[in-house]
Structure 1
Amino acid sequence: MSTSLPIIIPKEQVILKFSPSNPPVQVIKSGSTITFETCDCFSNLIQKEDQLFSSVGWDKINPATGPLFVEGAEPGDVLKVEILKINIADQGVMTAAPKFGVFGDLLEEEKTKVFRIKDGKVLFNERIQIPVRPMIGVIGTAPANEEIPTGTPGQHGGNMDCKRIVEGATLYLPVHVPGALLSMGDLHAVMGDGEVLICGLEIPGEVTIRVSAIKDKILPLPMLREGDHLMAIASAETVDLAAKQATIQMHSFLTNELGMEFNEAAMLLSLVGDLRICQVVDPLMTVRMELPLSVLEDYHYKLV
């Protein structure tokens, strides 16, 4: 009886821009399973507390492992990414730096903190232990005709820093080029909505996914299913604009996929839809609109 070896993309195979010209480092068939090894957002260059954010060059920030070429994925398809497993290291780092994040104008000096993880909890200080909830900060496909830095979110996905992109979630991304060219990185052991400092608990790890090309389906992308919610994710120059865009994307799903009338869909979102901030520290702000999956069940709608 023959057994196939797991397919792994090593952490040394990284990009710093999502681009249609990036050569794929691995090719798999639609429906296959693969593991991405990932560095942290500092390329694993900060290991001690005397190593500061400024010591890491911008050519080393937010590396994303990949890209992966998915056979059969063509422009116009939807790429379905099922997150099967996230493994993380036993320590992570955070940095604070002037001019970055919500506190950037208040910070006077850089600081790095290394946090150990034990028994599934971050040892924050002698009093506080925080349960880990590993998530993927950067995950996306190549845009059609441009290069987008891995630190910037957008319609292609990218640095969305959405804390609901966790083990067990399913993320739907656009396919703009043959093969989709999927890349990911920037894992966090845990992160709050907003990522207000400039980072979560940055940590290396491994992500195992099953990836499939979905034909003849139009969804407002990126879209995420996790727990009891379906989420439309949007990024824009301001939180206000991102919130409006995410809401309109979910509204279009209700009208186009469930067949709801315009005003009815708007009323429903005002009653059961929840706007949540993903992050406010990247070049674009990211917001998600959450809809209870029970609405889909009421309409006997099955998401692909």
Structure 2
Amino acid sequence: MGLKEIRTAMKVDLNKPAPEQKGLHNRWHPDISPCATIKNGEVVKIECLDWTGGQIKNNDSADDVRNVDLTRAHYLTGPFEVESAQPGDVLLVEIQDVQPFQEQPWGFTGVLDAKNGGGFLDELYPNAAKAIWDFEGIFCSSRHIPHVRFAGLIHPGILGCAPSAEILAEWNKRESELITAYADSGKVVAKPPEPANVHAGSAEGDIKAKVGREGARTIPGRPEHGGNCDIKNLSRGSKVYLPVHVPGANFSVGDLHFSQGDGEISFCGAIEMAGIITVKLSVIKSGMAEMGMKSPIFHPGPVEPQFGPGRYLTFEGFSVDHTGKQHYLDATVAYRETCLRVIEYLRRYGYDDYQIYLLLSCAPVQGHIAGLVDVPNACTTLGVPMDIFGFDIRPEVEAKKMDMGKCAFTSDRMG
């Protein structure tokens, strides 16, 4: 069988503002028209901007992270009409490759300011910070976190098909109820539709305004379609099975990551990048009923950084928080405490807390739930691959503090 060049279904322009590119959108809505059509069973390349649409720069200041405009996140490429797809079908997405652009071989990891997005540990680390990562083939390293180098498990953070009008209404209803329930707490528990900076592909006028009023934010993943799940194992060779809710599926993809830890704990925590994803899209007729599908399924691919079981230093955390307060089987509290145990340990080598926070967000760490039944404490673990460091971090080896420099901070914290 002869081979032919893989078609690029959509290109992006790294030098053009994202809102001016008609093949992108930053809300989920069924009325956003497809930017292109892909045949059932076709392999295509799709180009993507980084999730901020180019707001973050390769420099030594975190002012851009502090000031990032979250009403403009995420810029997804699509939607794509997939021929023959109908509601009730399943779209099989086979991820064949993901690569950074040759002309932009770098990515970034950020700690968002607690007043603008925050992160998993923002009560303790409220300030914006940033690390730039340089790509060398499959490996990456950073001038902002020295003596660390590892292979990336490169993947898309967001894959999903458009919701139907009924599903979109259900999303907005249940999330608005959550916002109302927490109205007096001061917590940001969900983001409602936001007309400001809405981008709806080629839509203008009334349709664009409607998308602004109704369109679901792309920040959370949702059970009906997947979306922003940030699952690091959706890498090359993976198969993802997505529910289809509208004719043509209206598939979109974006938020490409060179690497990510389990949890992406700093929110902007992967190594975010612009790049090209190669996928094969196939329609499984009546797949939702056949599979009893209520949320996406995936089959991991064969590509993963190779750290043997004995090459992780694993830390434990429990649902007793850092103030000493006891929580009942709270895995979130336990995982937060597990992350803090790693930060406390790696300080011994001269790293600043923010450098470690950034590293845990993007390095190939392994997070697991160890126990959820032994009242009152949930137990979680976090395995740090020892071989990503240029020195020995085993507990029995004496720790020597080194000059680890610093990550990028905002201009008012430099010096």
Cα 1:226–1:142 change in 2 (3 A) is same
Aligned to 1:203: 273
Partners of 1:98 and 1:105 within 8 A in 2 = no
- The AA in structure 1 aligned to 2:249 is A
Please identify which structure carries the higher helix content.
2
Runs (4+) of structure 1 exceeding 3 A deviation are 1-5
Q: Which amino acid aligns with 2:296?
A: P
User: Does structure 2 conserve the Cα–Cα contact (< 8 Å) formed by 1:20 and 1:142?
Assistant: yes
Return the alpha-carbon distance in structure 1 between the equivalents of residues 86 and 277 of structure 2: 24
Q: Larger strand proportion, structure 1 or 2?
A: 1
Determine helix, strand or coil for the equivalent of 1:224: strand
Residue aligning to 1:95: 110
Sort the Cα spacing of 1:225 and 1:104 in 2 relative to 1 into closer, same or farther, 3 A. Answer: same
Matched, 1:58 2:128: no
**1:157–1:222 contact (8 Å) kept in structure 2:** yes
**Is 1:37 paired with 2:47?**
yes
Report the TM-score when normalising by structure 2. Answer: 0.53
Are residues 1:74 and 2:92 paired?
no
Answer yes or no: is the 8 Å Cα contact 2:66–2:113 preserved in 1. no
Counterpart AA for 2:245: H
Q: Does 1:179 align with 2:248?
A: yes
The answer for the alignment partner of 1:149 in structure 2 is 217
The CA deviation string for residues 54-83 of structure 1, in whole angstroms up to 9 with x for no partner, is 333223222111000001000000001111
Q: Does the C-alpha gap of structure 1 residues 8 and 227 become closer, same or farther in structure 2, counting only changes over 3 Å?
A: closer
By how many angstroms is 1:240 displaced? Answer: 7.0
Q: Distance in 2 between matches of 1:195 and 1:2?
A: 38
Is 1:167 aligned to 2:236, yes or no? yes
1:30 and 1:164 mapped to 2: Cα distance? Answer: 25
Deviation at 1:116, TM superposition (A): 0.9
Task: Give TM-score scaled by structure 1 length.
Answer: 0.71
CA gap of 1:55–1:98, structure 2 versus 1, over 3 A, is closer
> What is the Cα deviation at residue 276 of structure 1?
5.5
Q: Which residue of 1 aligns with 2:394?
A: none
Is it true that 1:112 corresponds to 2:130 in the alignment? Answer: yes
Change (3 A) 1:52 1:215: same
- Whether 1:134 and 2:203 are equivalent positions in the alignment is no
Offset, 1:175: 0.5
Query: In structure 1, which of residues 205, 208, 212 is the aligned counterpart of residue 282 of structure 2?
Result: 212
Output the CA distance in 2 between the equivalents of 1:56 and 1:162: 23
Counterparts of 1:131 and 1:39 in 2: how far apart (Å)? 22
Letter in structure 2 aligned against 1:98: D
Identity rate of aligned residues, in percent?
28
Match of 1:224 among 262, 284, 298: 298
Q: Once the two structures are superposed, what CA deviation does each residue of 1:10-38 show, in whole Å capped at 9, x if it has no partner?
A: 23421111211110000122111221111
Task: Please state if 1:20 is matched with 2:30.
Answer: yes
User: Contact 2:6–2:45 (CA<8 Å) still a contact in 1?
Assistant: no
Q: 1:193 aligns with which of 257, 262, 265?
A: 262
Measured against aligned partners, the alpha-carbon deviations of 1:107-139 in whole angstroms (never above 9, x if no partner) come to 242122211112421113331102111011011
Moved more, 6-15 or 194-203: 6-15
1:96 to 1:3, Cα distance in 2 relative to 1, 3 A: closer
User: What amino acid is aligned across from residue 25 of structure 2 in structure 1?
Assistant: I
For 1:63, give the aligned amino acid: Y
The superposition leaves residues 244-301 of structure 1 with CA deviations (integer Å, 9 ceiling, x where unpaired) of xxxxxxxxxxxxxxxxxxxxxxxxxxxxxxx968xxxxxxxxxxxxxxxxxxxxxxxx
Q: One-letter code of the match for 2:66?
A: S
Letter in 2 for 1:94: T
CA gap of 1:202–1:59, structure 2 versus 1, over 3 A, is same
Q: Hey, what's the Cα distance between the residues in 2 that align with 1:240 and 1:21?
A: 38
For structure 2, the residue ranges without an aligned partner over 5 or more in a row are: 13-20, 169-214, 303-329, 333-366, 370-415
Q: Distance in 2 between matches of 1:60 and 1:25?
A: 19
Q: What is the letter of the counterpart of residue 183 of structure 1?
A: S
**Counterpart Cα distance in 2 of 1:32 and 1:69:** 12
- Which amino acid in structure 1 is aligned with residue 234 of structure 2? I
Distance in 1 between residues matched to 2:368 and 2:251, nearest whole Å: 25
Tell me by how many angstroms 1:213 deviates: 1.0
The Cα RMSD (Å) is 2.4
Question: How far off its partner does 1:5 sit?
Answer: 6.7
Distance 2:40 2:237 in 1: 19
Range moving further from structure 2, 105-114 or 184-193: 105-114
Larger deviation, residues 67-76 vs 28-37: 28-37
